[in-house]
Every structure is written in structure tokens, then in C-alpha cells.
A = this chain, B = another copy of it.
Amino acid sequence: MLREARKNELKEKLFRTAVELFREKGYENVTVDEITSACGVAKGTFFNHFAKKDHVLLYLGRSQVERMEEIAIKLRQISDPKERVRSLFRSLLSRYENEGHLLRVVMAETVRSALLLSEEEKLAGELRKVLAELLEEAAEDGRLTKRFGLPVLASALCALYFQAMMMTASGDKEAQKLLDEQLDAVWDGFGGAERTDGGTRP
């Protein structure tokens, strides 16, 4: 366990050093040699952690997916489905606090590459899957609308999360607060008075 922690620590260090170099010199102009020199480790060490340079850019998303699975297990203790989602989003966003600059470099290089973009799309798919699973129980016992499928709800929540992530990447400190309010709003519904009388809902 301790060994695992040390391994993760080194991986994180390689990632941060690499992204910092990408930012300074441009992704294409940075070699694996430079990354390992800057970290003070042998070149081979890099390849114990990342199959190739590309994979550095996927590390952030992949480590979030790994954390997400752990977080999701704990979240099952929360009964209210909205609060489950809120808690998941808070945990995921907290990873990016004060790291907007890293996130921006990673996102820019990812959007440029068709391959990386399709890998990131898979990671977004994992988030939608976890969201759908977190909501499933509530859908079964009627604490969630039945008019729309879980994939529709999960993808809408995903859109809110990614916007908050983008805001965080731009250094916006209000991202979490706005996401909280948006979550309340989509749960309650945007529609007004005609809904609150309870009689006209189809």
C-alpha cells in the first residue's frame, strides 16, 4: 500500500513536470528525456508509468475516473439522488482547484488530437455511466422523473459538470457555486407556476 502510494506520487510528479514543460515549450517540442531529466529520474522510469508521451495528457482524466469509482461506492450511503450527484461533482471538481493552468494545457492538446479526443469521450462516457448508476435506485422507487430515460438525465448533468470544469480551468472561483444552483434548478425544473399547482402536469 505504501509502495503503491509512492508509485502514484512519482506518476503525479512526472505528470506535473511534463505539463509544465508542455506549457512552456509547446507539447511537440518536449521530449521524454527532458521530462525525466527535470524530474531527476531515469528515462526508463517514465515508461513504467506512461506507455508514451500522449498518455501524460490522458492521466488527469483517467485518474479522475479511477477516483470516481471509489467515490461512487461511498456515495451509496447518501439516499437523496440529487445530493449524491452534488457530492460526486464536488469531489471531482476539487481535484482541479488551483490547477486551472494544468487543466488548460491538457484540454488544449486533447482537443487538437482526434485520438485523444476519442479517448476523452470514453472517459466522459464513464462519468455518464456512473451518474446513471447513482440515479438508478432513485428512478426505481419514483424519486426521479420517469418521463426521460437515465441517459438523458445523466448526459445533461455531464454537460453542467463539464461547463464547471471549463470555468475552473479559466480560474473562475464561482464554478462550484453555480453548479450547485444549476443542480437545484434542473432537479426542480425550470417551468413555473403551471407546474406548482400539481394539476396540469401530464
Contact = CB atoms under 8 A, between A and B. Distances in A.
Interface residues of A, number: 51
Given A159-B182, A162-B163, A182-B152, A146 B108 contact: no
A40 interface: no
A193 interface: yes
Interface in A34-53: none
Interface string A104-127: 100111011010011001000000
A93 interface: no
A152 B178 contact: yes
A94 interface: no
Interface string A156-200: 101110110000001000000010011011111111111111110
14 contacts: A104-B114, A112-B112, A144-B191, A145-B185, A145-B188, A146-B192, A148-B188, A152-B181, A152-B182, A155-B163, A159-B162, A188-B189, A189-B191, A198-B198
